[in-house]
Structure 1
Amino acid sequence: MRSTLDEVLAALDDLETYVRSIDPVNAALAEISDPTIRGYLTVRRQLDGAAFIVVLYAAFEKFVEDLVWSHTEFESATVEYQRLSDRLRKKHLEQSANLLAKGRLGEGRYANLTAADAIAILHECVSGVRPYKLNRHAVLYHENNLRPTIVKEIFSLTGVSDINEMVRETASLMRWNLELTSIPGPVALSSIERRLDDIVERRNQTTHTGVRSGQVLGSAEMQEHVEFMRAYCKALYEVVVGAYLDRFYVGDPAKSTPLGKFILGPLSKNGGAVVVGKPACRIYTGQPVIGKHGKRVDRWGTVQELRVHDQPVQAVEAGDPTAQVGLRVDFEFTGSAQLYLLSAKDQAVWK
């Protein structure tokens, strides 16, 4: 799942580089008196905005589909088909049948999926074969643009019932909103939905009615769209991965160990530092750790430093007679948080 975020952030960085080049390039071209160049500049301003909004939406749509599919792949590799959510199994079955009925498999966007493939996948799923795979096209099928309601529907397949209600409270989106409006705390749901609807509407105007339709986007507006999309994609990732870690690790005592009550801390020191009592499991530097506030896993990282009697150590064994252990992780958390230690990194989340 981590790679899906890295990919969209790289795409947005490239788009931001393009946006920042628009004004200086246009200013340089404006110095040329050639009438052909001046005519080109007029058209270029329209094309800049059109190209920008189409690429921005395409990057977002690919990210959403890749993130949902990545989560679904990891889940299906972990649990048997009949234990997947009813919503996911229902959509997979119905849309597989729908794709078969349309008779377009093996061509166009479905070139890599034949009717025989779709039937074989369904047979594996319902017959209880392990391992099995799902039909990506069936899982991700949607007829409409990714407006807020469709985003909510798609992410419900990951077990997150109302994704935008949750992203409004993420650190990434609240930080973006604070920089933009100076208003701290959760972002207004209407603000998220309005911005997403605006991107979709501009994309539709461009693709269906041409570059001359609608208002021409300036570079400042483009930059604002990029900053919103960067924060929004990070927030979506945080919620989906948090739900994944909560379900498959925090909810499974065999895969995670609660760190217990803090004797001292947390103290902010390039992350979060606490002092805890005798460890119930082995603790080592580089160990994956999950932070949960209330009912949500909202941060994760690794153990950066361990200290016993104020001396650095690489590991502390389970049942060590040491009364107290100082521990620092690479994320900040509050005193109400519960930390969970994992025995190994999950490649879906940690590099």
Structure 2
Amino acid sequence: MNIQSLENFKRELNQIKEYLKHIQYVNDLTAYAIIDTDNGQIKELLNRLKEHDRGFRTDKRIFEYKASIISLYGLLEKYVEIWIKEYLDSLSKVVPEYNQVDEKIRINHFELSLKLINTITTRESAKYQHITKEEVLKKLNECIVNPSEYQINTDAFVLLSGNLKHNKIVDLFKDLNLDLNNELLKNEELNNEIGLTPERISTIGKDILYNKINDLVERRNQIAHGSENVETIKSISELEPYIQFLEKYCQAIFQALFEQFIKQESIHTFQKIEKVIKIFKNEILAFEIEKYTIKVKDMLIIETKEGRFYKKPILTIQLDNQSYPELAIIEKTNISISVEPKIKPNQTFYIIKK
């Protein structure tokens, strides 16, 4: 998966934050009390702004609210789709044969691809103008006749992704054979944002836990259908908790997919370190290895006892207290490598296959 897409999400969310900050600055300016010592040109400009604000204040507040809600929801839908499609694309680069892809994904791939063909054929939608039914069929066929060169119809897995309330996003993840609710429980930043321990969170209804996401979707739908209630329109400051929660929520979704991708790497392109000797200072891993060439900046995959997966670059390599940028091992040898902390004895470690 592409970590840059997470940075793109953060950048676009920050644009909305800056937009709302700009609005607040303008609001502060219109509230400024003009004094006699102010420059004449400044007085004229401020008076013009104040006069316009008096007549436009309510409509301006409604427009700002609509623009903010639509923009925030747009980010949610856009990046959930991007990340699901990125994950599936990444699988075809890591899992060598189509029949080694998770069985549930393969079953859903066939059924959802047929639905995608039907959608392309029967509806005119700009969303699917970049693909044809022939391309969808070709990918399905390649999965059967040329399984080592397969491609997944990723658009099929986000076919019904509109109105993305939390339960709808959970359903999209089910097609990937992933329990999103369970994955979100593992995310400390999101748990901290909710303000409850994972144990307490697991006992509460998900509509309550992720109410800000569901409320955001409802507000967007009201705007889209022209049924928003002026009395329920939120001010700029009242939108800040929604933005903060959306950021943590979307980052947790990306993290869940990214960790699952690393898990697939550990299965298909990495190999387990079978004999760990010892771990020092939570950052040095001593282990036995043979017939292997290891380099600084090679990646180490860490699997925690809770089933989470991380990747860390190797920072140093040592043999007999001497450091090496690269080390070719022929026979069984004990070496040590260092990574950023923390690593623990109850974890499982993988190095890339060579």
**Residue type at the aligned position of 2:217:** V
SS at match of 1:209: coil
The residue number in structure 2 matching 1:338 is 348
The residue number in structure 2 matching 1:133 is 151
**Residue type at the aligned position of 1:188:** I
2:261 pairs, out of 241, 244, 259, with: 244
Q: How many residues align?
A: 331
1:71 pairs, out of 87, 92, 96, with: 87
- CA offset digits 1:195-226 (Å, max 9, x no partner): 32122122212222355556222333322222
The residue number in structure 1 matching 2:62 is 46
Q: CA deviation at 1:163?
A: 0.9
Q: Which moved further from structure 2: 67-76 or 218-227?
A: 218-227
The residue number in structure 2 matching 1:200 is 217
Q: Distance in 1 between matches of 2:89 and 2:302?
A: 24
Q: Distance in 2 between matches of 1:266 and 1:171?
A: 23
Q: CA deviation at 1:321?
A: 8.4
- CA offset digits 1:273-324 (Å, max 9, x no partner): 1251444544432121111112513322212234556665423443688755
Q: Distance in 2 between matches of 1:256 and 1:167?
A: 27
The residue number in structure 2 matching 1:14 is 15
SS at match of 1:64: helix
Q: Distance in 1 between matches of 2:100 and 2:335?
A: 41
Q: CA deviation at 1:141?
A: 0.9
The 1:259/1:236 distance shift into structure 2, 3 A limit, reads farther
CA contact (8 A) 1:15 1:52 kept: yes
2:201 pairs, out of 170, 185, 188, with: 188
The 1:143/1:246 distance shift into structure 2, 3 A limit, reads closer
Q: Distance in 1 between matches of 2:332 and 2:108?
A: 53
SS at match of 1:158: coil
Q: CA deviation at 1:61?
A: 1.2
CA contact (8 A) 2:300 2:311 kept: yes
Q: CA deviation at 1:62?
A: 1.4
The residue number in structure 2 matching 1:171 is 188
CA contact (8 A) 1:259 1:341 kept: no
The 1:339/1:213 distance shift into structure 2, 3 A limit, reads farther
The residue number in structure 2 matching 1:299 is 310
Note if 1:255 corresponds to 2:265: no
- CA offset digits 1:229-271 (Å, max 9, x no partner): 222222222222222222332x34x62242743624343xxxx
CA contact (8 A) 2:185 2:201 kept: yes
Q: Distance in 2 between matches of 1:126 and 1:323?
A: 44
SS at match of 1:125: helix
**Could you say which structure has the larger radius of gyration?**
2
SS at match of 2:240: helix
The residue number in structure 2 matching 1:115 is 133
Q: CA deviation at 1:342?
A: 2.3
The 1:225/1:187 distance shift into structure 2, 3 A limit, reads farther
Q: Distance in 1 between matches of 2:256 and 2:64?
A: 33
The 1:227/1:320 distance shift into structure 2, 3 A limit, reads farther
5+ unaligned residues in a row in structure 2: which ranges? 33-45
Note if 1:149 corresponds to 2:170: no
The 1:306/1:115 distance shift into structure 2, 3 A limit, reads closer
**Residue type at the aligned position of 1:330:** E
**Residue type at the aligned position of 1:263:** K
The residue number in structure 1 matching 2:74 is 58
CA RMSD of aligned residues (A): 3.1
Task: Give the structure-1-normalised TM-score.
Answer: 0.80
CA contact (8 A) 1:278 1:324 kept: yes
The 1:41/1:330 distance shift into structure 2, 3 A limit, reads farther
Task: Give the structure-2-normalised TM-score.
Answer: 0.79
Q: CA deviation at 1:63?
A: 1.2
CA contact (8 A) 1:260 1:276 kept: no
Q: Distance in 1 between matches of 2:332 and 2:102?
A: 44
CA contact (8 A) 2:184 2:253 kept: yes
The 1:171/1:247 distance shift into structure 2, 3 A limit, reads same
Q: Distance in 2 between matches of 1:109 and 1:261?
A: 50
The 1:296/1:210 distance shift into structure 2, 3 A limit, reads same
5+ unaligned residues in a row in structure 1: which ranges? 268-272, 345-351
Decide which structure has greater helix share.
2
The 1:185/1:319 distance shift into structure 2, 3 A limit, reads farther
Q: CA deviation at 1:52?
A: 1.5
**Residue type at the aligned position of 1:328:** S
Q: Distance in 2 between matches of 1:296 and 1:275?
A: 19
Q: Distance in 2 between matches of 1:186 and 1:334?
A: 23
Note if 1:89 corresponds to 2:106: yes
